[in-house]
Structure 1
Amino acid sequence: MASNVLPGWLTQIFTTNDAPSPGQHQEILNALYPLRIQATELEDAIRTLSALRDTTCNTVRLMESAIHPIRLLPDDILREIFEHCVPWCREDGTARDTFPNEPFSAAYYNIFNVCRNWRAVAHAHPRLWTVLVIGPRFHRDQSYTSTMNRIQHTVEITHARAGSLPIRVHIPQSEKTIVGRELLLMVQTYGKQWGCMRIEGTTEEYDVLVILLNESSLPSLHELSLVGLSSGLSETLHIPALRHLRFEGAVQKTRNLFTPLSQITRCEFINSSPDSLAQMVNLEELIISCGRVSKNWRKPREPPLVLPNLTFLRVTEIDGGRSTIIVPLFNHFRLPALRTLYVHLPDTWRGSLIALDPSLIPDSIASLSIASDSIDGENAIRVTDFIRRSKHLHSLHVGGSQAPAILEMLATDLAVLSRLRNLYITPFDPISLHDTAHSLKAFTSARMLAGYAPLGPLRVYMRALNRQDDQAALAIQCVGGQELQVVDGKFDTFDNVPHI
């Protein structure tokens, strides 16, 4: 009610606590009735207009969606988008993080439920269906039969939609593993199309699974991961196309695990003792990430075995004690073709590289990465000997507290200065950055004085940069026109060097 429609006396009453007179009371009642009617009419009008506004806005949204550019996307662009929504279809290999957690993740349903066209495009795109997870956890409210029916349906539609593309299969460890006749039928029916396979489980589950695999045809299986095996297998696997083998948390107590092991060209031992390595005479790439090894490795092999085709080796120690795999590895094997070598030791490692004869390090190495925050001065000298031994070395990564000392020792070696083309440094921590700066200046100055061209982009890796650290790193005065790059992260691989 606007104040300009009220009598003056009524406005005055609003500002006091006085009661109106009988005449004023009647006058208020007479004026109140039409105002109430007017307020009701206004509320009805507001509701009508609000409903009209909502309907109009909804119509606008529908019309805008009808002309949205996404409706005009060709099918090939839609397929590209769908692959990003289901990223594991673009992965390869058998690492755990390349598989989804469930047979059908929410990503599939998000694609299917948009419209019939999207669903049709997704169903007709084989690449989306190249990953299969068999054996999810049993749901408490489902019987074994209903669970098996669901798994069987998943397997059937996956193979139907994948077309002729190879399929990566994951059989995870669960509360109850899917074993027996049903799984055997699945393997026998669809195993011919499986290219990669990851199996997780206990020893008892393995015995059953291995029998199933051995009784099935797997002509396309070229990569296999065995996870969690704690004892020797009772059966021998015959997989003719197998080339890549991965053990995770497994101990191999039989040499006849695969026949023949000479067909393996790439192998990974993750927290597993590499006891079956001696039979892999055609190995080209090897990754070992383990701590303590079996007794077979404690004494040098006489005569040592030769792995003539091995070009890539990554060794990561995961035990904080004094045991090591790097020393017995070179005592047991000769690697004349080795081109890329990674040696990464944990911060708590208390072993020693002194026992490793530098003459056992192949002089064919072109790329070398050695990093540890636990290497002392004596081990740093031995590392320097390894680097000098590598006559074809052109890419070097040094990490840890002794990195500055190693660089300063190398700065006096003209042979190393002449060979090196790329240098990567990971300081011990941001505090040691100034020591790194000093050693880098000494190294680049020595190269310039010797008349050698500047290195390729020199990279300093820092796991956690702040503004002060960043400025300090950028202030490193590398002479001779040397380009410097400060990387906020962790060194992983050399440029243009193949790795697993």
Structure 2
Amino acid sequence: MPFLVGSRAPSLARSRTAMDPKIPSSISRLFHTNSVPSPMDAQEINELLAERNQELSVVSKEIERARAEVQRLENKHAEVQGVVHELEALMSPVRRMPTDIMAKIFEHAVRDQDMPKPDPRLAPLLLGQICHSWRSLLFSLPCLWTTLQVDFPSGAKEWERIMQSKIMSMHVWLSRSKAVPISVFLNHPRGSQIQWAALMLLDKEILTLGARLKELTLHFSPQALSTLLTFTQSPLPYLEHLELQNSNSLPANDNPPALILHSAPNLRRLSVSWCSLDLREFQVPWNQLLELNLQYDASSFWNPVHSDYLQILSQCPNLTTCFLGVGATIEDVDPETIQPVTLTNVHTFKVSVYVQTAYLRHFFDALRLPKLRSFEIKNVSLALGSFTGETECLPFLERCADTLEAISFSRMDVSDPAILSCIAQLHHLKTMFFLPGVLRLNHSLLTALTYGSPSTDGASDFQRICPSLETLQLRCSSAVPVDAVAGLVQSRCQSEPKLKRFALQFSTFEYGLDTRDEKIRELRARLQVYVEQGLQLYLTKSGLSG
């Protein structure tokens, strides 16, 4: 095919020229060829070009007029549409909504957040960006500004200016709450220092707010906490919850001074987490507390200590919930001087074991919780071996058998005879988590908890352990037979009360082929019928520590 000079769209051009009767055939036949026009044709082509250019100019002007008209209509459309939107806004139900209902909506918008922050992308600041009336209503409602979380930076350019800005925004935010009691949560990242000037500003702000504090949480380094405790010297008439936590990533010997609350008549919940807890000098209204959380930071490089918890608990007759981190005591406790401690209202008790000492056994032997419903114990030590004291809580649990409904063992290497003897007495147990360490992965709990086939006289081949169990979570070795797991779930789902939730973690530290994925697939298939009947089934893999 010859190259056609000046031809960009042959088919389109041919169709258009063929429809123009004013172009002679002597010229149109030259289209799409390389032929040279004759002198006579060239003169006629020039005349045609002049006519077409004049016609093209006329059409271009018409297009410009049409475009101008379209632009005018579009502008008119936008103007009318703007008026329509304004008129529709006048008829909006939100405009006619009573102020008290709008206030309730604002309250729900703020309450639905985990923790309000001074962020313009979140409520309540986001609501103030809608219109003037919303902003006026927003600032007139103290209840929207009673809770605040401030995360202070760990280090950045213009760090001091950012700190001052955050403290100022905190001041402005809480000033809008008027005289309403407030909840303040202040966090500072691990491993960074706060300049003294900024600490003094923050301490002054907290001290100013002391008379209105309902909840206060401080997550700072021990050095910073030592500076920020000035508020404890003033009356705290509304304070119900106080949480003081060391945010350092590594333990240290520098601890804040003893907590001394001069006046906190409504304190009900106290949480203290330091590297070492010497509670002997604490002056706290222990007898008012309903919830007590005494933890401390531990690591593989640190063995923190604490004072005798029993002396503190004996002063807390109204406790309902208690979380303790148990390790070594600051002073040796003479077993002969230990007196039993009875807490008649405690229903939830959690213990973290950091290091094995004789104190753990003495502690559980002396403690009496006649209304305990939920118990959790966790070994947080990095030691791989078993603690001999990991069974010392079992007699305590047996004393609580009449009321206990939920137990949890995490990384506790309790022997099969010991754990089976204990749970055999817990007839009211509804929830059980048994997540042992690597030394007890091949336990016999699967077999013991499986109901046997009914015999001819209607009795069971095995004594039914934990007959009220509805939630069960176990950690086993990957060597556990699939038939044993399926048998346990089937027997529990075919009896009353039926098992509602079953979770199994396959853990392994063995060498060789990892068959856990295959076993999980097989178990899912075999237990699918019970899932369809409502069973919540969770089959997962875990590492050595879970």
2:292 is matched with: 267
Q: 1: distance between equivalents of 2:122 and 2:294?
A: 33
Over alpha carbons, which structure has the higher Rg? Answer: 2
Q: Deviations over 1:135-173 (max 9, x none)?
A: 8459855876x96587356425524x3245321112333
Summarize the alignment of residues 76-475 of structure 1 with structure 2, pairs less than 5 Å apart.
Answer: 76-87=100-111, 98-100=114-116, 102=118, 106-133=122-149, 136-137=152-153, 141=158, 151-152=167-168, 154-159=170-175, 161-173=176-188, 175-176=194-195, 182-183=201-202, 185-210=204-229, 212-228=230-246, 230-233=254-257, 236-238=260-262, 239-272=264-297, 275=307, 277-278=309-310, 279-281=312-314, 282=316, 283-288=319-324, 293-296=327-330, 301-302=335-336, 303=338, 305-309=340-344, 310-316=346-352, 329-331=363-365, 333-344=367-378, 350-352=385-387, 355-356=391-392, 358-361=394-397, 362-372=400-410, 379-391=415-427, 393-400=428-435, 405-411=444-450, 417=464, 420-428=467-475, 435-443=484-492, 448=495, 454-455=496-497, 458-461=500-503, 471-475=525-529
The answer to whether the 8 Å contact 1:225/1:245 transfers is yes
Kept after mapping to 2: 8 A contact 1:267/1:286? yes
> Equivalent residue for 1:53?
74
Are the equivalent residues in 2 in contact too, given 1:322–1:350 (CA < 8 A)? no
CA deviation after TM superposition for structure 1 residue 313, in Å: 1.0
**Matched residues in 1 for 2:539 and 2:358: separation?**
27
Alpha-carbon spacing, 1:5–1:152, altered in 2? closer, same or farther (3 Å): same
- Tell me by how many angstroms 1:118 deviates: 1.4
1:236: how far off?
Answer: 2.5
Instruction: Mark the CA change 1:416 to 1:356 in structure 2 (over 3 Å): closer, same or farther.
Output: farther
Task: Give aligned pairs, total.
Answer: 461
Alpha-carbon spacing, 1:475–1:216, altered in 2? closer, same or farther (3 Å): same
174-183 or 356-365, which deviates more: 174-183
Q: Secondary structure at the match of 1:330?
A: helix
Q: For the structure 1 residues 327 and 440, does the alpha-carbon distance in structure 2 shift closer, same or farther, using more than 3 Å as the test? A: farther
- Paired letter, 1:120: S
Cα separation, 2, equivalents of 1:118 and 1:241: 35
Q: Which residue of 1 aligns with 2:251?
A: none
Distance 1:156 1:477, change over 3 A: closer
TM-score (norm 1): 0.73
> 2:536 aligns to what?
486
Change (3 A) 1:37 1:275: farther
Opposite residue 266 of structure 1, the aligned amino acid is: E
Question: For residues 357-407 of structure 1, what are the alpha-carbon distances to aligned partners after superposition, in whole Å with 9 as ceiling and x for unaligned?
Answer: 6322222443123254x566x63443222222335x241223548699425
Alignment check: 8 A CA contact 1:252 1:276 kept: no
**370 and 379 in structure 1: CA distance in 2 versus 1, 3 angstrom threshold:** farther
**2-side partners of 1:427 and 1:8: how far apart?**
96
TM-score by length of 2: 0.68
Say which is worse superposed, 415-424 or 26-35, in terms of deviation: 415-424
> Is residue 15 of structure 1 aligned with residue 64 of structure 2?
no
Cα RMSD of the aligned pairs, angstroms, is 4.6
C-alpha change, 1:476 and 1:180, in structure 2 (3 Å) is: closer
**Alpha carbons of structure 1 residues 419 and 152: separation in structure 2 relative to 1, 3 Å:** same
1:43 offset after TM fit, Å? Answer: 4.4
User: 2:281 is paired with a residue of what secondary structure?
Assistant: coil
Report the CA distance shift for 1:46/1:411 in structure 2 as closer, same or farther (over 3 A).
same
Rate the CA distance shift 1:459–1:136 in 2: closer, same or farther, 3 A: closer
Equivalent residue letter for 1:280 = L
CA offsets per residue over residues 47-100 of structure 1, 9 Å max, x none? Answer: 54256336525743663452455445444554454345434xx68xxxxxx545
| Alignment deviations for residues 286-336 of structure 1 (CA, whole Å, 9 cap, x no partner) | 124x5x82345997854254141322112356x7x9899976752463333
Q: List gaps (5 residues or longer) in structure 1.
A: 92-97, 449-453, 491-500
SS at structure 2 position matched to 1:86:
helix
Secondary structure in 2 aligned to 1:162? coil
| Partner SS, residue 535 of structure 2 | strand
- C-alpha change, 1:382 and 1:26, in structure 2 (3 Å) is farther
What code does the residue aligned with 1:440 have?
A: V
Q: Check conservation: 2:268, 2:290, Cα contact below 8 A.
A: yes
Number of the residue aligned with 1:494: none
Shift of 1:194: 0.7
**Pair 1:129–1:462, CA change in 2 (3 A):** farther
Find 1:27's aligned residue among 38, 48, 51. 48
User: What amino acid does structure 2 have at the position aligned with 1:221?
Assistant: L
